[in-house]
Amino acid sequence: MRANSGVGDIALLPMTTAIPAPDPIAGAPLDAELSGWRRYLHTIPETGFAEHRTSAFVARTLRALGLEVHEGIGGTGLVANLRVGEGRGTIGIRAEMDALDIAESAPGRAHASATPGKMHACGHDGHMSIVLGAARLLRERQDFDGTVRFIFQPAEEHGRGAKAMMADGLFERFPVDEIYGLHNMPGIAAGTIATCAGGIMASEDNFTIHVRGRGTHAARPHMGIDPIVIGAEIVLALQTIVSRSLDPGAQAVVSCTEFITDGIRNAIPSNVVIKGDTRSYDPAVQATLERRMREISEGICRLHGAECAFSYTHEFEPTVNWPECVPHAVAAATAVLGAARVDANTVPMMASEDFGAFLRVVPGAFVFLGNGADGQPGGTPLHNAGYDFNDAVLEVGARYFAELVRMRLPR
């Protein structure tokens, strides 16, 4: 998941020794095995497209559970297949594998990151363990008729992993009828599930606006073209796009997050670079944001006699749940948790998720799994140096996915 980081100026922690890699144990309680997997994965964080140890551990665990595993898809990605009966239906269940470039701050945590400067601050260690747990449950029960594909994706935080797997023939080699995923969510009561039809997480588009003026001595501003004044005018004008160029019912955010100059204290600079991102749910809104940002930036620069170079890139697709698939996710969650602990019409979030790229081409749905309310275990925000996945919700996630498969591929 891509969102704002909660990381401060935290020194790198000394390297620790990773706890031993656990092996599947016949007859072990599910919750204990899930926690063992999760805590081991937490000690070996690896960032996008470098998840070599992580992928190897996941593949070894899946093979030990009796699944057919295919590695090296889109880099470090892998797919494990489990077929039961003669049913033709195929369901995909996805987990992401990458960690973040954040130094963990967790004194006394026995399973803390053993790699300085990297940690599982978004809970992908928990997501992998949940999907491994679903694989174990489905392998043991065999209470469905069809094929399940367990998809472990690299580089979600970059917004590149899903597309890399698809470019490597993911759905041609391993076709699915539907695909489902989840993300833990601090701030939501532990062990609850929330989803909605339509947009549930936003796109993320990045922009760079380079204003080229003419530098001059600060005492003689009339001799130059001040890109700071021009850039400031652009930043303010961009905030009118959401309020004046979009339908009031549309949702979008335009955020300028960096303002960089090549000036010094007594000199007006020649260049200003403005960077930031936008969030939205609708491709038409994305197109409007890009068009209006370009028009405003170039127009203001022309007005002041400056040059403008504008770039706009699409980093994450919006995560848009298929309306026909959401009821299946809700039914499975309700069967596991009861109706009182399932929100079928949750408020969408402006954070981004690479799962949206899969939903552009395959029907499916994405849900939030409550990690813990504010101030409770699991309530530490995502992308925070003190974050940890709440082990108490691992079994909920695994049983949710297993129930979803059983319902979608009935015997």
Residues marked active site are found at 98, 156
Q: How many CB atoms lie within 10 A of CB 312?
A: 16
Which among 226, 225, 249, 229 is positioned nearest to 237, based on CA atoms?
Answer: 229
Which among 14, 112, 157, 105 is positioned nearest to 385, based on CA atoms?
Answer: 105
Half-sphere exposure of 25 (CA within 13 A, CB side): 13
Q: Rounded to whole angstroms, how far apart are CA atoms 355 and 365? A: 9
Q: Which residue is associated with the tokens 């596991």?
A: 336
Question: What DSSP assignment string belongs to 385-401?
Answer: TT----GGGHHHHHHHH
Contact 47, 53 (CB under 8 A): no
Alpha helical stretches, state H, 245-391? 283-304, 326-337, 355-359
Q: Which residue is associated with the tokens 């990690």?
A: 371
Phi, psi angles (nearest 5°) of residue 195: -160, 180
Residue 88, helix vs strand vs coil: coil
Q: Rounded to whole angstroms, how far apart are CA atoms 383 and 397? A: 21
